[in-house]
Amino acid sequence: MPSDSDPSSSAPPFQGRTIALVGLMGAGKSTVGRRLADKLGRNFYDSDHEIEKAAGLSISDIFSLHGEADFRRGEKQVIRRLLELPPHVLATGGGAYLDPETRQVLRERAITVWLNADLETLWRRVQKRDTRPLLQRADAKDHLAHLVLEREPFYSQADLVVHSKDGPHTHTVNAILKALQTWKSE
Ligand code: S3P
C-alpha cells in the first residue's frame, strides 16, 4: 500500500496535513478556505468561529468584555485543538500567526498558505463588515496599512504564498491547489 512518503504514491504530497490559511483581515481566508475544503472533500474550520462558539460571545464582545489578551489566549488554544483533528482546511484569524507558539504548532502540523492581498483590496473587503474590533476606529485604513507593514515579516514565514485578487474565488482556490503541488515536507 503506497504511503504519502512513497514517491510512487499518486496521493498529493499535502494529503496528510491540514492546510492553514494565514493573512490579514480581508484576505479571503474564510471564503476561499470554505471553497478549498469543498474541492478537497475536507472539513472546514474557522478559528474565529470556533472561539465564538467556545465563548458564547462574538469576537467584538470578547474584545470589549475581556480584552484582546484574553482573545489571543483563546485563539491559541482553539488553533492547537483544531490541529489535532484529521487533515482539514483551517482559516486562522488575522493575528493568530504572529504568536510564536501558534507559528510553531502550525509549522509542525499544517501547511501554511499566506493569502496575500494589497492594501486597497483588503480595505475594500473589510468595509463590508463592521465586526472587526481592530478596525473600529476613525483612522481604520491607516491602521490597516500599519498592520500590513507590521505583519508581513510574519506572514512571509508561511510555507506558501498565494495572491488573493478580486475576481472569482475559484481562481484563488486553483492558485492554492497549484502552489500545494510544489510543497515538500522537510
Ligand atoms: C484579527 C482578525 C480577525 C479576528 C480578530 C483579530 C486580527 O479575523 O481574529 O478581529 O488581529 O487581524 P479575520 O482575519 O478572519 O478577520
Residue 184: the pLDDT is: 85
Q: Which residues line ligand 1 (CB under 6 A)?
A: 25, 29, 48, 59, 93-95, 132-134
Q: Is 168 exposed, middle or buried (0-12, 13-18, 19+ CB in 10 A)?
A: exposed
Q: Please name every residue paired with 112 in a beta bridge, in sequence order, or none if there are none.
A: 20
Residue 1: the pLDDT is: 44
Residue 9: the pLDDT is: 53
Query: Which residue's CA is minimally distant from atom 9 of ligand 1?
Result: 93
Query: Which residue's CA is minimally distant from atom 4 of ligand 1?
Result: 93
Closest approach atom of ligand 1 to CA 75: 9
The x, y and z cell numbers of residue 6, run together, are: 512513497
C-alpha of residue 105 to centroid of ligand 1, in Å: 19
Residue 166: the pLDDT is: 87
C-alpha of residue 49 to centroid of ligand 1, in Å: 11
Walking along the chain (186 residues) 10 residues at a time, the average pLDDT comes out as 49 87 98 97 98 97 97 98 98 98 97 98 95 96 98 98 92 96 85
Do residues 26 and 121 make contact, with C-beta atoms less than 8 angstroms apart?
yes
